[in-house]
Amino acid sequence: MDLLELARAELLRSNADRKHPFRLMYISTFGEYPEVRTVVKRRISPDLKLTFFTDSRSPKVAQIRNNPKVAALFYHPKKKLQIRLYGHAQLIDEGHGDFNRYLQSVKESSALKDYTTLQAPGLPLSAGTEANALFGDEVHFIAIEIDPEKLDILQLGRESHNRSLYQQIAGEWQEQPLVP
Ligand SMILES: Cc1cc2nc3c(=O)[nH]c(=O)nc-3n(C[C@H](O)[C@H](O)[C@H](O)COP(=O)(O)O)c2cc1C
């Protein structure tokens, strides 16, 4: 099977299968150093647009405002399949058409508390702060959508490895096989 179709099939499967390794992804942004962190992939569409949720005060949001170019990494250990997706991140905050739908899904999942810390994520924790005194009433939720522009897909095999670069040109994915 074509590597892009294999990758797409696994990514779409992860929308429904809660144990799928592609439920988590590693997102990198430009900061003082290259920054990378684990996030939960909330959804991927058939045209490979990714969505994840975060705290609007978190450093990754400021980094994306500065430079919206991001990379997402996925690895499927059983299939020995690595996907490196490069694209443009868009911040979906209040005022965007999809914002309320995303916020509603968080409210229904009881994860809303994750977006209500009194202080911004990543700030030093004041000495003696009780865990339950960390939260306030204000919700700092934001969704981030990633539009894919380039994919580097690698599958390791027993006898040989396969790797291809896919780039979107005029709405079509063009394949360039690469030396693995
Ligand atoms: C398993 C796991 C899942 C996570 N999921 C998310 C997530 O969906 N959204 C998020 O903002 N942070 C998530 N985090 C925390 C991030 O890895 C990171 O620590 C946090 O978002 C701060 O990142 P930043 O300082 O680069 O903005 C997750 C961490 C782990 C270990």
- What's the Rg (C-alpha) of the chain? 18
Of 95, 71, 76, residue with least CA distance to 147:
71
Is 95 part of any domain? yes
Res 1 pLDDT > 70: no
Closest C-alpha to ligand 1, atom 11: 54
Q: Looking up tokens 């939260």, which residue turns up?
A: 135
Buried b (16+ CB within 10 A) or exposed e, 28-43: bbeeeeeeeeebebbe
36, part of any domain: yes
> Above 70 in pLDDT, residue 79?
yes
Q: Does residue 52 lie in a domain region?
A: yes
Please provide the DSSP assignment of the chain as one string. Answer: --HHHHHHHHHHHHHH-TT-GGGEEEEEEESSSEEEEEEE--EE-TT--EEEEEETTSHHHHHHHH--EEEEEEEETTTTEEEEEEEEEEEE-TTSTTHHHHHHHHHHHT-GGGG-BSSPTTSPPPTT--GGGSB-S---EEEEEEEEEEEEEEE--SS--EEEEEEEETTEEEEEE---
Within-domain flag for 45: yes
Residue 166: the pLDDT is: 98
Residue 126 lies in a domain: no
131 phi, psi to nearest 5 deg:
-55, -40
CATH number of the domain within which 114 lies:
2.30.110.10
Question: Mutation test of ligand 1: which of 19, 39, 91 has the most ligand atoms closer than 8 Å to its C-beta?
Answer: 39
CA distance 173 to 167: 5
pLDDT at 131: 66
- What range defines the domain where residue 147 resides? 3-121+132-177
> Structure tokens of 85?
């997706």
Question: Cβ distance 115 to 55 under 8 Å?
Answer: yes
60 is a domain residue? yes
- 38 CA to middle of ligand 1, Å? 5
% of the chain beyond a pLDDT of 70: 98
Does residue 115 have its Cβ closer than 6 Å to ligand 1?
A: no
Q: What is the pLDDT of residues 88-132, one digit of tens each?
A: 999 999 999 999 999 999 998 888 999 999 889 999 887 777 766
The count of domains in the chain is 1
